[in-house]
Structure 1
Amino acid sequence: MTSDSLPTDPFRLFDEWMREAEDGEPHDPNAMALATTGPSGPSVRMVLLKDVSEGGFVFYTNAESRKGEELKAGSKAALLFYWKSLRRQIRIEGPVTRVSEAESDAYFDSRPRASQIGAWASLQSRPLTERQELERRVDLIEREYEDAAVPRPPHWFGWRVTPRHFEFWIDRRDRLHERYTFDAAEEGWRRGMLYP
């Protein structure tokens, strides 16, 4: 790849790389590291990309978890896709906002029932004394919704990271990697390159 051959829209390049990852990455090509920051400092964990829409990258989580609290309190987040088998990564940085209630409902309704039950049963990020405690909560929720659809918990919804910065990284010999950047500008995207 050369800077001249880069597309002008980073979303197009992301789509190309994601399609290749879906074909070549054996496990969870949509896995991405999500970095946030809060009162105790920075934190990073893996989440799953569920949609690329309205100019942003969408994932879902429990808003009462540590990441949920940090997303509510902060205004920015960073994402990292790393596909070792393809020797590529993509870094994304930008503001984060909640998706609409309708989007959250639609995605929640598409989840397997066991995952819906788990969203109610898990007090995500809170201390757990023993595994049986979680299993008891799952049993209670299963009985509560035994003959009914499982509604979306009010504390469970989606977030959208709207990129202001992309970096596409390609592994090369002798650590002379390729790094291409896209930064949001008034006229679209400003492309650039970085030393490895």
Structure 2
Amino acid sequence: MNLPDGCRDISRRKGLVSLLGGCSLLLFQEQANAGAQIEEPLVDAVRTALSSAIHNSAPPIPEFADTEARLKYLRWLGAMSERLKKRKPDWETRKEFLQTVWYESKRAGLDTALVLGLIQVESAFRKFAVSSVGARGYMQVMPFWTRVLGDGDPGKLFHMQTNLRFGCVILRHYLERERGDLFLALGRYNGSRGKAPYPNAVFGAKRAWDFAG
């Protein structure tokens, strides 16, 4: 693909691939990682939730209060699976990923479409994505989170459920710190608090994963 000189230079420096096309996305993806998250004291609830992720290796099995709730989930799963098919062609892999995103986002009290949008911006749905400063996995979690909560093994951040739980609970932590202001919480997650490009990119990506049910 022929790119303008500026875009070609960015692609060579960062090894970025434009999933949607266009220089503007390449320019944003250069900074789309959680590498500037700050290591900070954690409240006990956050520490406990993150610690449990390290020891919980099995994919969660959704449970539902009634048949309608189960049917709504299955409709969501079918719709999201179709949208994700080009990025994750294997059905079982896609199903396990979506099931875990759904479970961990609900567990953290987050909008599932928002979490999928964040994953799209952070890693383009690449399980083994690593940023230039070492943020890892789907939700680009910094290795220091494992150091303060577990045995410090950053390799655990490539485990799907561990990464998704860390990312969701960290975002919930930031959302509570920002008193419910999602714009500021997303900025804090990315290390660009108060600046518009990253939150706006996540909000834009979220629209592709909205589901009316």
**Shorter-chain TM-score category?**
under 0.3
Name which structure has the greater RCO, CA cutoff 8 Å, separation 6+. 2
Higher strand share: 1
Higher helix share: 2
TM-score by length of 2: 0.23
